[in-house]
Structure 1
């Protein structure tokens, strides 16, 4: 059998005493947590450990003795430490002592209560107690590997033992109590009275802020604009941050921290954008260039419609339908240009007030930009809807008439195609309608194709903006910064480095934390967003385009496409 002893490197300079820790029987290993110094009363030590066990639910006990005596006249101390094994009856009894002038320590096992003591190979593993306490061990992402999951469960027992023993670390060698311990906080307990006062003062402010945010969030949910959706999403984030409910798990705590850092960086980027917009009268220049750009777009659309009303690419179109559709869409462009010129005196003022919204965050400014693009290209959306509905009507009309020729019909009640017999008049009218729709289809399909391409161009621009907004909303910036600055906080496992290996002596290893990769950090702590990517496959999208069904690529969660 191999006995593994996990010893905190911070206790290497501790005075002589006894070892406090947890014995893990399943792994035949001992996790040392602290060293109790002399002088002490055994009864008080037992009472203290029973209190620690009651609070932490960790079976902490005295595992052995620790000797850091450098003087030869104190050789009797080692005998006294061995006798402590009769008071604290733990089997096996671990003895760690200084090994001459060597920088390492000797470790031996004493089995007094066994008639046939077994010789066990000892592995002394040094670990950084502070890093193990503050780190969070993540399970392996590849759950198919059973041996990785088994190794992770063994490591989690060690990490949980140190993490759950925080009460033990509140007492150190400088306290006036009867028990004096050495552990990772012996050089100074990490605490701040200012932070504690701020926590207490923030409770009533958080309650008031949560109430106000719940009212504003209800108003934002009633609108379908991207700006209102983003504001509602950010208000939910503020509610999570301002909630006085304490995080129960490490994942909840990391989510709060990621949301807080994401909000700070979002607002900082928005303020930078706002300061850039209001310098050198960039708002005025933007307003002055908006009208000429709109006129240019209108001229290009008019030229495109004039091209479609002629003989586009040498195609023979239906003259009457072509003229009707062309004049109908030209009238819409005329209305749109009149609307833009009517709003031209107020555009600069509108942009000035819209620019102030950037102080709410860069994502809010991007969503406002997306809504402005949607308003400025509303005529293109109308063209697409008109063309798609007209094309879809003809496609479904042709498909119904094609079933008529084959003696079939669509059963609405049972949602299936059934056989049906038609008389001569029905076949004649069906043939006439089928011929009319078939010869009008190329003209309608051409307009539908052109306006669908224009609509897709606008949707791609809005999609890129939404992708950027989703990236800012979902990127776990705090976890990434934590991985960059304190990589041991996000542990994917451990690695062992051999310190010394000699025959007849315990194998000495150094346990180092293996951090998560950046990709795993983003995948594990990625924040949910309010929008989602298209769930339709490319085949489904192409089918909808062919049938003339309206496509809304950027739908919100919980909504269905029309």
Structure 2
């Protein structure tokens, strides 16, 4: 069975010394983390390794010697490296060497439990990428996961610079971004008072929202139905999350906070850009001036539609009396709505001016307010739909109940089932009369219901597109996508091995590279929870409700999915 040695590429040119790493017995693998140069004191080495073991919680030991022979072999150095195996009694013991005259490496394994020669596979890896990567789609007990975990948990070992003065000198990966580290530390220090201020405002707003006169009926009903209030509450939860003083425990908790921060920043940047566009060139005044003609045009189109329905639409013969009653009823509502718009016309520009200021809270908030404005401006269409749906549903239920009467059936309310029943002659005569009246009035009612349902669905589709855009801004993991784009190794889906060279009698040399996580899995893994607008039922159930005339309320349901 082969023994795999994971060797960092940054140590390929290191001076002679010791191999510092960890032996994974269950996988018969050795992970080399650093090389320790001469001179050193063995007692200092053991003391340093015990300190690292206390910090990381993983066993760290001297697992062998490293010899980089640049010229002819030095017999004294070879003998000295051989004597080190008696000082550091690790089992097994690695003897790795590299000659300048040959591109092949040599590796011997001593003091193995099994007898006989062992096949050696030398795997090179990028220490920096493995340390910063998060491995996905891998078993916790797999060999690759153990290697990733070993390198990541020994990050304190890499904090010691090779140029630091001290009794020990190590070669391992070194970060060259000292100035960047200083900037990061200053940002962390500045974020503490900022988070405290945000947390204070969040608690203040939360306490105001929980006041009795705001949380009682009917205001609580309005807050729950308004898209802008729900989006503000959703963003308030995001601010509470990022201003929390608790340190992020684990990779997913950190990524959720980072994605939330990026989502808020991008949302506010887009909102400020929208606000700048609105207030430049008096576009708010232009929108306010265009609203009244648009409202008049919509009202005129509805009046023409109702006049068409009150005649002979598509050559259909309707019930004249019911057609006149329904037409005049809906015409009266249109006149009321036009009067309401005319009454509000002097204040529309002022309302739009203050609404434009809300864009500084984020583009998603501005879109939510736009959705609420559309709902208010089309409230008469919603009323038409509800009236038509209720009347149509009443007739459908009446026809279904009377149809059961003809078949000698009735609906048992207690048992919630259809039972047999015997009816007398008077009941059958009255049922036949009512069934005939409802059946002949049904086409007129169904036509009004169909027209206003289509208008209502058109409005719902526009609001659905807006809500989908809001959900996209609120749930997209921008930070994870940015990591996948710029530093794909940070989110690893696995590894792949490429063969460097192979020669008889020499170890097989492989190069381990990281496979980045696909974009689809990035979205599925790190997507943020959001407020979603969706029907509770399936498409079949939804079509059934539309057919029998039940009113569909496309209110937004909160997505309870937690990462």
Q: Please, what TM-score do these two structures have when normalized by structure 2?
A: 0.92
Aligned to 2:439: 438
Superposed displacement of residue 208, structure 1: 4.2
- Structure 2 vs 1, CA of residues 535 and 289 (structure 1 numbering), >3 Å: closer, same or farther? same
Runs of 5+ unmatched residues, structure 2: none
Superposed displacement of residue 215, structure 1: 4.2
For the residue of structure 2 that corresponds to 1:192, the secondary structure is helix
Aligned to 1:552: 553
Aligned to 1:478: 479
**CA distance in 1: counterparts of 2:399 and 2:176, whole angstroms:** 85
For the residue of structure 2 that corresponds to 1:7, the secondary structure is strand
Aligned to 2:132: 134
**CA distance in 1: counterparts of 2:545 and 2:512, whole angstroms:** 58
Are 2:84 and 1:95 equivalent residues in the alignment?
no
Are 2:54 and 1:54 equivalent residues in the alignment?
yes
For the residue of structure 1 that corresponds to 2:35, the secondary structure is strand
**CA distance in 2: counterparts of 1:209 and 1:555, whole angstroms:** 27
- Structure 2 vs 1, CA of residues 73 and 27 (structure 1 numbering), >3 Å: closer, same or farther? closer
- Structure 2 vs 1, CA of residues 400 and 73 (structure 1 numbering), >3 Å: closer, same or farther? closer
Superposed displacement of residue 437, structure 1: 1.4
The 5-angstrom pairing of residues 359-370 of structure 1 reads: 359-370=360-371
For the residue of structure 2 that corresponds to 1:290, the secondary structure is helix
**CA distance in 2: counterparts of 1:492 and 1:102, whole angstroms:** 35
**CA distance in 2: counterparts of 1:187 and 1:258, whole angstroms:** 27
**CA distance in 1: counterparts of 2:229 and 2:115, whole angstroms:** 74
Q: Which moved more, 1:397-406 or 1:438-447?
A: 397-406
**CA distance in 2: counterparts of 1:58 and 1:94, whole angstroms:** 20
For the residue of structure 2 that corresponds to 1:26, the secondary structure is helix
The 5-angstrom pairing of residues 338-487 of structure 1 reads: 338-487=339-488
Superposed displacement of residue 319, structure 1: 1.1
Aligned to 1:164: 153
**CA distance in 2: counterparts of 1:448 and 1:186, whole angstroms:** 70
Deviations 1:418-440 (CA, angstroms, capped at 9, x unpaired): 22233333323222222221111
**CA distance in 2: counterparts of 1:402 and 1:215, whole angstroms:** 60
Aligned to 1:320: 321
Aligned to 2:243: 242
For the residue of structure 2 that corresponds to 1:167, the secondary structure is helix
Deviations 1:191-212 (CA, angstroms, capped at 9, x unpaired): 7344334434533542442243
The 5-angstrom pairing of residues 55-74 of structure 1 reads: 55-72=55-72, 74=74
Runs of 5+ unmatched residues, structure 1: 141-148
Superposed displacement of residue 101, structure 1: 3.0
**CA distance in 1: counterparts of 2:442 and 2:352, whole angstroms:** 44
- Structure 2 vs 1, CA of residues 238 and 516 (structure 1 numbering), >3 Å: closer, same or farther? same
For the residue of structure 2 that corresponds to 1:31, the secondary structure is strand
Q: Which moved more, 1:376-385 or 1:233-242?
A: 233-242
**CA distance in 1: counterparts of 2:116 and 2:536, whole angstroms:** 63
Superposed displacement of residue 459, structure 1: 0.4
Superposed displacement of residue 266, structure 1: 0.9
The 5-angstrom pairing of residues 138-217 of structure 1 reads: 138-139=136-137, 153-185=142-174, 192-217=181-206
Q: Which moved more, 1:297-306 or 1:252-261?
A: 252-261
Residues paired across the two proteins, number = 548
Q: Please, what TM-score do these two structures have when normalized by structure 1?
A: 0.93
For the residue of structure 2 that corresponds to 1:139, the secondary structure is coil
Please say if residues 107 and 506 of structure 1, whose CA atoms lie closer than 8 Å, have aligned partners that are also in contact: yes
For the residue of structure 2 that corresponds to 1:505, the secondary structure is coil
The CA RMSD measured in Å over matched residues stands at 2.2
Please say if residues 491 and 513 of structure 1, whose CA atoms lie closer than 8 Å, have aligned partners that are also in contact: yes
Please say if residues 217 and 236 of structure 1, whose CA atoms lie closer than 8 Å, have aligned partners that are also in contact: no
Deviations 1:271-295 (CA, angstroms, capped at 9, x unpaired): 1111111112111111111111111
Superposed displacement of residue 533, structure 1: 3.0
Please say if residues 217 and 232 of structure 1, whose CA atoms lie closer than 8 Å, have aligned partners that are also in contact: no
Please say if residues 463 and 554 of structure 1, whose CA atoms lie closer than 8 Å, have aligned partners that are also in contact: no
Superposed displacement of residue 373, structure 1: 0.5
Superposed displacement of residue 4, structure 1: 0.8
